[in-house]
Amino acid sequence: MKLELTDAKKWINLFVEKLEANKSELNELDTAIGDGDHGTNMDRGAQAVTEALGKKEPENLTDLYKTTAFAMIQKVGGASGPLYGTAFLDMSKAVKEDNLELSDLIQIGTDGIKRRGQSDVGMKTMIDIWQPVTEALKANKLNQQVIDAALNNVKELVATKGRASYLEEKSKGHIDPGAQSSAYLFESLIEVIGE
């Protein structure tokens, strides 16, 4: 399955709405195991995405993902800006010549996050959402249960990357805020493509 421009725009717009609506929840999650500003940062990124896409209507998928990437990189503080930015930038390069299968596209974004964050599955980061979503897309089985299961899994992990890793065992039992914002990204995707 491929995501065409109209649906891809809907996806990004829904993600932006979810970030704005859940700013305080993301901050609360981040207060428990980080510095408490993930919601504020992501909300700033969401506003920047809306503003950038409002200034110039993207003509193709490359434009859309690239604009999203740069808005995130420029406005989202902490590690999240560069990580989301890298994912979307890599995706924008990947669709330059030809639109890809959605599973391949999300895998490219996931690989970008792994590379940029020098991390992998099991470290209690956003990758613990991105990778299971990629696998589910490959199997044509992406649904809300996949996202819920991935979030539950994240909660039980001990952080070995990022600020939460300073807490060691105490990070267990908390949802990583980057994983939660990534869950919003893919919940938005499900709203567009259906389960």
d(CA 89, CA 191): 23
pTM, full prediction: 0.97
The radius of gyration of the chain from alpha carbons, rounded to an integer in Å, stands at 15
d(CA 67, CA 140): 28
* Closest of 76, 55, 53, 73 to residue 64, by C-alpha: 53
pLDDT tens digit string along 44-100?
Answer: 999 999 999 999 999 999 999 999 999 999 999 889 999 999 999 999 999 999 999
d(CA 113, CA 56): 27
Structure confidence at residue 52 (pLDDT): 97
State the residue for tokens 């500003």: 37
| All domains of the chain in start order, with CATH | 5-193 (1.25.40.340)
Mean pLDDT of the region 13-24: 98
Name the 3-class secondary structure at 51: helix
